[in-house]
Amino acid sequence: MNAVPYWRLSGFYFFYFAFVGAMSPFWGLYLQSLAFSAFQIGVLMSLLQVMRIFAPNIWGHIADQTGRRTSIVQIAAAGSVLVFAGVFVSDSFWWLFAVMAALSFFWSASLPLVEAMTLSHLGERSDAYGRIRLWGSVGFIVMVVGLGYAFDTVSIRWLPWAVLAVMLGIVASARTIPDAEILPHPTDHHSVWDIVKRPEVASLLAACLLMAVTHGPYYTFYSIYLVDHGYDKSTVGWLWALGVLCEIGIFLIIPRIFARVTPRQLILASFALAALRFLVIAWGVQSAWLVWGAQTLHAFSFGTYHAAAVALIHQHFRGRHQARGQALYTSLSYGVGGTIGGLASGLTWESIGSAWTFTLAAISAALAWAVFAVWGKSK
């Protein structure tokens, strides 16, 4: 990978997703230890997504106008650490509400810009994206397995300190990322909304939103769900890790998959397998084999899905629209979709039960398949 700053980009992904590996599986358990209700946990967890509706577009617009993507990533990383320090001040609901909202505003700025820079560095070798992105998965595994074992012996109240350490790693790695040249493209004079209105783009964004809704209960309540059904925290950590190990496997072989299967076909297959995965989680939790088997489907419900979605977004948004294209993907899917999924699961968890909450997640994945298959069909 000549001229591509492989390890500097990989280092950022490592620490960024190590943060996710601490927050997604364990922050809900931490909030539960503070005696918050399921609805309050759903609200607080959803705040990690809420600001992703607005913030990536704000930061992406600034980046595309100024061309200073690296500087914005560094500012966002430093702002995230300063804001997160607020969790050590108070653990009241409204204080944590404010802290997590502000944290999300800064934290959500970084990834779309780094995705755009990574793809710019790769140029025509975008099929090698997975070999850089996989280090994010490695960071996630290191964190989720390590903390899973740690919290079998120490209090979950130590979690904020682990998160703070990882965030300092994000700040350090952000200082090493070199920016990439933004090459001119024939569509530069078009409005970004001219691109969004095309059926193949609009349907992709709508389906990605539904896919994020699908994962709302998973990122908010999966660890709580497993612990409530008798799984210990180290096993929970390994279950999260298994899913990401399968994801790494996909990222390693994705160039060969792209050579045989189109991104559109991959996304449709991912939606179908996501529906199957969440049905198994909903009704097979009493069987350890089914639970472990369902986690292997993370290779498709996230691995192939994300690689194909990023590739398609990169195809549709070129030149000066790169950062805003990745920001739109982040804000509409993980922002709007993640918020809806998190809040809805907080409401349904206690009213209709955990199994039916995950069943609704499976239905959302099936809807994503229908939207992209019908609306996004090539003319």
Name the amino acid, one letter, at 33: S
Which has the higher per-residue pLDDT, 366 or 35? 366
What pLDDT was estimated at residue 49?
Answer: 78
What pLDDT was estimated at residue 378?
Answer: 55
pLDDT band at 1 (very low <50, low <70, confident <90, very high): very low
Is residue 177 predicted with pLDDT exceeding 90?
Answer: no
Specify the CATH number for the domain of residue 167: 1.20.1250.20
Flag the least confident range among 37-41, 126-130, 203-207.
126-130
Mean predicted confidence (pLDDT) in 25-46: 90
Q: What distance in Å separates the CA atoms of residue 170 and residue 164, rounded to the nearest whole number?
A: 10
What pLDDT was estimated at residue 51?
Answer: 80
pLDDT band at 186 (very low <50, low <70, confident <90, very high): low
Is residue 116 predicted with pLDDT exceeding 70?
Answer: yes
Q: How many CB atoms lie within 10 A of CB 250?
A: 22
Q: What distance in Å separates the CA atoms of residue 262 and residue 39, rounded to the nearest whole number?
A: 40
284-323 residue pLDDT tens: 999 999 999 999 999 999 999 988 998 898 888 876 667 7
Q: Tokens for 307?
A: 């690689």
Q: Tokens for 150?
A: 């740690």
Is residue 183 predicted with pLDDT exceeding 90?
Answer: no
Instruction: Single out the residue of 113, 108, 11, 104 nearest to residue 71, CA to CA.
Output: 113
> For residue 74, is it within any domain?
yes
Q: What distance in Å separates the CA atoms of residue 47 and residue 45, rounded to the nearest whole number?
A: 5
Burial class (CB in 10 A: 0-12, 13-18, 19+), 48: buried
What pLDDT was estimated at residue 379?
Answer: 47
Q: How many domains does the chain divide into? A: 1
> For residue 379, is it within any domain?
no
pTM given for the model: 0.76
Question: Are the CB atoms for 192 and 326 separated by under 8 Å?
Answer: no
Question: Are the CB atoms for 357 and 221 separated by under 8 Å?
Answer: yes
137-159 residue pLDDT tens: 899 999 989 998 999 899 999 99
The angle at the Cα of 338, spanning 337 to 342, to the nearest 5 degrees, equals: 120
Mean predicted confidence (pLDDT) in 104-127: 80
Is residue 179 predicted with pLDDT exceeding 50?
Answer: yes
> For residue 106, is it within any domain?
yes
What pLDDT was estimated at residue 344?
Answer: 92
> For residue 1, is it within any domain?
no
Q: Output the DSSP codes for 252-275.
A: HHHHHHHTTS-HHHHHHHHHHHHH
> For residue 28, is it within any domain?
yes
> For residue 204, is it within any domain?
yes
Q: How many CB atoms lie within 10 A of CB 301?
A: 27
What pLDDT was estimated at residue 13?
Answer: 94
Calculated CA dihedral for residues 244, 248, 250, 255, nearest 10 degrees? 150
Mean predicted confidence (pLDDT) in 232-258: 90
Helical ranges in the chain per DSSP H: 6-33, 38-50, 55-66, 69-84, 93-122, 129-150, 159-174, 192-196, 199-228, 233-258, 263-283, 288-296, 298, 305-316, 322-329, 338-351, 354-374
> For residue 267, is it within any domain?
yes
51-104 residue pLDDT tens: 878 887 788 778 777 778 888 899 999 999 999 999 999 999 999 999 999 998
- How many residues make up the chain in this entry? 379
What pLDDT was estimated at residue 288?
Answer: 96
Q: How many CB atoms lie within 10 A of CB 83?
A: 20
Q: Tokens for 181?
A: 């040249």
Tokens 């059904």 found at: 229
Question: Are the CB atoms for 69 and 179 separated by under 8 Å?
Answer: yes
Identify the domain containing residue 243 by its residue range: 6-181+191-374
> For residue 213, is it within any domain?
yes
What pLDDT was estimated at residue 127?
Answer: 65
Arithmetic mean of pLDDT over the chain: 88
What pLDDT was estimated at residue 190?
Answer: 63
